[in-house]
Amino acid sequence: MKLAFERRGTGEPLILVHGIGHHWQAWLPVIDLLAATRTVIAVDLPGFGASPGLPEHVPYTAESLADAVESFCARIGAREPHVAGNSLGGYIALELASRGVVRSAVALSPAGFWSRPELLYCQTALRGLRASARSMPAERLASVAANPLLRGVCAGLLVARPSRLEPDALVAATRALAESEGFDPTLESFGGLMPPAPPKSPITIAWGEHDRLLPCRQAVRAGRWSGQRVKLLKGCGHVPMSDDPALVARVILEA
């Protein structure tokens, strides 16, 4: 299937995968830093952003979304690319590494390493964000995004430094969350999400120090699963790209 994407730069291919309810623009704070040495391809997952939804007979699961990304890479001729993902995208990056179809994988606060109470908290919090996004009139959203205090209230669950989040980016992200046709079935599928099989490709896992959606104690489980120490992204939240673009870019490029 055809997916919406943004391509920049030259060099070895690097696929960027966003989290649930987001779109490729989540990577805008870091994309040019990465494109200095990579051919960066930031993709909208099926049913998110500007990409069409999955076919009716295909369920929304992390594995089926990983299938779509793998097929997309084959279609555009990106053989064994590097891949980096955040949240759900982080899980997808690890899943692709477990299949051995990528050169390396970087997962930023990946989904799937939660306890049962942490999963229920995550699902409840995300449903609340989705309901808020869908109920907020456009003019109200614009005024919230323009107000530093309200921007912090609106985005504080996902980023540690809301002041660094551009108002237009918050507006666009909120609209993407409200309009994601794949959001509800994907979130429901999280109940059966388990860590992927052991990776066949080199991986790096990094976790936001101030992640309020998937607390960084989950990094301990991710470290046990991977058999390696998880990097801590100091001063960063769940979606760290706007919190510290230079740090995030460095972690991805050094993988």
Residue type, 246: A
pLDDT at 255: 84
Task: Please choose, from the candidates 112, 145, 102, 124, the residue with its C-alpha nearest in 3D space to the C-alpha of residue 219.
Answer: 112
Three-state SS string across 172-220, please?
Answer: HHHHHHHHCCCHHHHHHHHHHCCCCCCCCCCEEEEEECCCCCCCCCHHH
Alpha-carbon span 97 to 39, nearest angstrom: 19
Q: Where are the alpha helices (DSSP H) in the chain?
A: 28-35, 62-76, 88-99, 116-135, 138-146, 148-155, 167-179, 183-189, 218-226, 245-253
Cα-trace Rg, the chain: 17
Residue 147: DSSP 8-state: S
Give CA–CA dist 4/49, Å, rounded: 8
Euclidean distance between CA atoms 191 and 126, whole angstroms: 14
List the pLDDT tens digit at each of the 255 positions of the chain. Answer: 799 999 999 999 999 999 999 999 999 999 999 999 999 999 999 999 999 999 999 999 999 999 999 999 999 999 899 999 999 999 999 999 999 999 999 999 999 999 999 999 999 999 999 999 999 999 999 999 999 999 888 899 999 999 899 999 999 999 999 999 999 999 999 999 999 999 999 999 999 999 999 999 999 999 999 999 999 999 999 999 999 999 999 999 998
- This prediction has a pTM of 0.96
pLDDT at 104: 97
Q: What is the pLDDT of residue 52?
A: 97
Alpha-carbon span 42 to 31, nearest angstrom: 8
Buried b / exposed e over 157-194, threshold 16 CB at 10 Å, is bbbbbbeebebebbbbbbbbbbebebbeebbebbeebe
Q: What is the CB neighbour count within 10 angstroms for residue 197? A: 12
